[in-house]
Amino acid sequence: MKKMLIAGNWKMNMTPSESINLVQSIIDGTKDKKISCDILVCPPFTSIDSVSRTVKGTNILYGAQNCHFESKGAYTGEISIPMLKELGCKYIIIGHSERRTYFFENDELINKKVKAVLGAGINLILCIGETLREREENRTFEVLKRQIEIGLNRVQPEQCIQIVIAYEPVWAIGTGISAEPEQIQEVHSFIKTELVRVLGKRASSIIVLYGGSVTDENAKSILELEDVHGGLIGGASLKTDIFLSIVDTAISILEK
Ligand code: PEP
């Protein structure tokens, strides 16, 4: 049976009190429904504690958008995995393109974080994706191959159950221009093959999300693709109605 994860990346939005309101509206909108997909919200660090208290007793999962690979030490301004673990985070997003671009995170640094997250027993959403230039130069598959090979270097096959991949073409993030369904299916199929090549057959259970300008309008055509197992939703995850409509779409696809 198909599994589906709908994950909201709130980015640098929402104060703690705003976060409580947003997550409460998601709880209210889902509480009378049979929710067959997983729902995850990733607020900023400063809101994780408030969100954790608000979702207590519900099925809404919460996680973080980044972490440091060391468990403690002199790294001013950074947040460690044990700190997030103690707050009950179930997932950590690693390698988002905004971190790669604005904070110069390369595949080697991302691999250190990947190994640290997995070693701590937390689930990982590893973001990969090509820039517009790389796509135009026909380098999409080469870039994804490198991001997978280096990003997952020295990951153990038994850790596959903790891994989620998010394919996020950089040119589709926050632009309102989503990739076309054919492009998405082609890339997801390639990613799944690469994961098995790098990690062995246990990797066939790794789910691959699509991210990049997903809205209530295009969610159906994306989520119903064979190798798409959910979405990483940025801007639309801040608008309860749209986020809930994407969740409803996922549920109706799973019920088919
Ligand atoms: C994201 O931040 O991961 C993302 C996909 O953003 P958006 O949905 O706004 O394109």
Q: What does the pLDDT read at residue 83?
A: 98
Task: Identify which of 86, 90, 12, 82 has the alpha carbon closest to the alpha carbon of residue 47.
Answer: 12
Domain 14-254: give its CATH code.
Answer: 3.20.20.70
Tokens 């809404």 belong to which residue? 60
Beta bridge partners of 233: 8
How many CA atoms lie less than 13 Å away from 23 in the CB half-sphere? 33
Active-site residue 168, yes or no?
yes
- Catalytic residue, chosen from 98, 134, 168, 194, is 168
Q: What is the pLDDT of residues 86-116, one digit of tens each?
A: 999 999 999 999 999 999 999 999 999 999 9
Q: Which atom of ligand 1 lies at the shortest distance from residue 168's CA? A: 5
What is the token pair recorded at 156?
């153990």
Q: What value, to the nearest 5°, has the Cα angle with vertex 246 and ends 50 and 88?
A: 25
Closest CA relative to residue 89, chosen from 36, 30, 41 = 41
Supply the mean pLDDT for the chain. 97
**211 C-beta closer than 6 A to ligand 1:** yes
| Predicted local confidence at residue 142, as pLDDT | 98
- Among 94, 98, 214, 216, say which to mutate for ligand 1: greatest number of ligand atoms within 8 Å of CB: 214
CA of 74 to the centre of ligand 1 (A): 32
CA 235 – ligand 1 centroid, Å: 6
- Over residues 57-67, mean pLDDT: 97
Q: What is the pLDDT of residue 256?
A: 85
**pLDDT recorded at residue 43:** 98
Residue that wins the pLDDT comparison between 2 and 87 = 87
**Span 151-187, pLDDT tens digits:** 999 999 999 999 999 999 999 999 999 999 999 999 9
Average pLDDT over residues 35-62: 97
pLDDT bracket for residue 1 (50, 70, 90): confident
State residue 2's pLDDT score.
85
Residue 226 is among the residues annotated as catalytic for this protein = no
Q: What is the mean pLDDT of residues 71-77?
A: 98
68, 96, 188, 229: the catalytic one is: 96
- The answer to whether the CB of 161 falls within 8 A of the CB of 205 is yes
CA-nearest residue for atom 3, ligand 1, is 234
pLDDT of residue 16: 98
pTM for the model? 0.97
Averaged pLDDT for residues 9-31: 98
Place 196 in a pLDDT band, splitting at 50, 70 and 90.
very high
Q: Is 37 in the pocket of ligand 1 (CB under 6 A)?
A: no
- pLDDT over 90 (residue 20): yes
For the CA of 176, the nearest atom of ligand 1 = 10
Domain ranges of the chain: 14-254
